[in-house]
Amino acid sequence: MFAFIISRILQALPVMLVVSFISFAMFAYVGDPVSIMLGQDFTEAQRTELVASLGLDKPFFVQFLTFLGNAVQGEFGLSYRLSRPVAELIGERAPATLELALCAAFIAMAVGVPMGVYTGLYRNSWLSRFFLTFSLIGVSLPTFLIGILLILTFAVWLGWLPSFGRGDVRPLGFWATGFTTWSGVKALILPAVTLGLFQLTLIMRLVRAEMLEVMRTDYIKFARARGLSNRAINFGHALKNTLVPVITIAGLQLGAIIAFAIVTETVFQWPGMGLLFIQSVGAADIPVMAAYLMLIALVFVVINLIVDLLYYAVDPRLRTRR
């Protein structure tokens, strides 16, 4: 087990290296931060000075190695746009994104799995047909449209929930959380639902398909022949056998939720990393963009490692194979 984790971490290293190279190379040739930082009026001397202070006059690989060396120490330089340390900026924004993403993932799992089980077990019932139709909407409507429709309904017409921002945020150690205040919780609902809706319908459809598959197997038939209760069969024997593919997709989707919260954060003006990234793109703020991409790569690597470990926990056949 320990050897497995070590080997996976070693495998992750080249991945991170390649991602950092690509992100750095890409941004090094996209946009010109210098002209944006200088504005309209500047002298050639000012320009040269700024280029030198940012280290942009050095050869590409020297720049990259410097970037990498700093990155390993958690040092991503100063934001060109805000002139503040990138690590600090991301550290400020990360709690907002993570709270949003985890809430969205929780909604998707907590609602999607039971709906999937239900539609898998009673596939001809009226409610199942309704769920399936509803899931088509979730799968096919783009996130920004769902967000706008929710704002229109719950913020504009009904006036129940705020349409933007994070509400009141209280510090909890280094973590600024919105969970402890009523306005923070209220502000979280709409963006979390928006972000989670697609994942919810995806997970529901996946669980349904897997349940239909598993219910046809001989071991379910045999479990019935042994006289086990429906509850034990549906939620013990059947559901557990659907878990491996569900864990895979849920893990990947959690990564996707964190990485692509950008649209939702933009719609709701949610002060998270996605919004920071979009603003940085506009200003060609390379250090922030590079750091963000590397962070997202790290998130994916870590989630995949956890997913692999969960396979081991769920499926005994994998445990003995090595």
Partner 1 sequence: MSLLELRNLRVEFPTRRGTLVALDDVSFSIAPGEVLGVVGESGAGKSMTGAAIIGLLEPPGRIAGGQILLEGRRIDNLRYDDMRRIRGKQIGAIFQDPLTTLNPLYTVGRQLVETITTHLPLNPAQARARAIEWLERVGIPAAAQRIDSYPHEFSGGMRQRVVIALALCAEPKLIVADEPTTALDVSIQAQVIALLKGLARDQGTAMMLVTHDMGVIAETADRVAVMYAGRIAEIGPVREVVKQARHPYSAGLMASIPPMDRRVDKLAAIEGSMPRLSAIPQGCAYNPRCPRVFSRCMVERPDLIPAGPTDAACWLYAPGAPA
Least distance (Å) from partner 1 to the CB of residue 282?
50
**One character per residue 181-220, x = contact with partner 1 (rule: CB under 8 A):** ------------------------------------xxx-
* Piece of the chain touching partner 1 by CB under 8 A; list 17-25, 44-52, 84-92, 235-243: 235-243
- Residue 110 as a binder of partner 1 (CB under 8 A): the answer is no
Least distance (Å) from partner 1 to the CB of residue 319?
9
In angstroms, rounded to a whole number, what is the distance separating the alpha carbons of residues 315 and 299? 24
- Residue 226 as a binder of partner 1 (CB under 8 A): the answer is yes
Amino acid occupying residue 187: A
Tokens of 164: 């933007």
In angstroms, rounded to a whole number, what is the distance separating the alpha carbons of residues 167 and 270? 10
Tokens of 72: 């390993």
The residue from 14, 39, 159, 227 that contacts partner 1 (CB under 8 A) is 227
Nearer to partner 1, 4 or 222 (CB): 222
Q: Roughly what angle, to the nearest 10 degrees, separates helices 126-140 and 182-215?
A: 120
Asked if residues 248 and 231 have their Cβ atoms less than 8 Å apart, the reply is no
Nearer to partner 1, 74 or 236 (CB): 236
Tokens of 219: 């071991």
Strands (E) in the chain, as ranges, are 170-172, 175-177
In angstroms, rounded to a whole number, what is the distance separating the alpha carbons of residues 312 and 17? 27
Nearer to partner 1, 241 or 253 (CB): 241
The residue from 232, 278, 306, 309 that contacts partner 1 (CB under 8 A) is 232
In angstroms, rounded to a whole number, what is the distance separating the alpha carbons of residues 74 and 88? 10
Nearer to partner 1, 48 or 230 (CB): 230
* Piece of the chain touching partner 1 by CB under 8 A; list 20-28, 37-45, 97-105, 228-236: 228-236
Q: How many angstroms separate the Cα of 261 from the Cα of each of 119, 192, 266?
A: 28, 10, 8
Number of shown-chain residues binding partner 1 (CB under 8 A): 23
- Residue 240 as a binder of partner 1 (CB under 8 A): the answer is yes
- Site residues for partner 1, 298-317, by CB under 8 A, read 314-317
- Residue 222 as a binder of partner 1 (CB under 8 A): the answer is yes
Least distance (Å) from partner 1 to the CB of residue 206?
18
Q: Residue 177: helix, strand or coil by DSSP?
A: strand
In angstroms, rounded to a whole number, what is the distance separating the alpha carbons of residues 190 and 322? 45
**Binding-site ranges for partner 1 (CB under 8 A):** 217-219, 221-230, 232, 236-237, 240-241, 314-317, 320
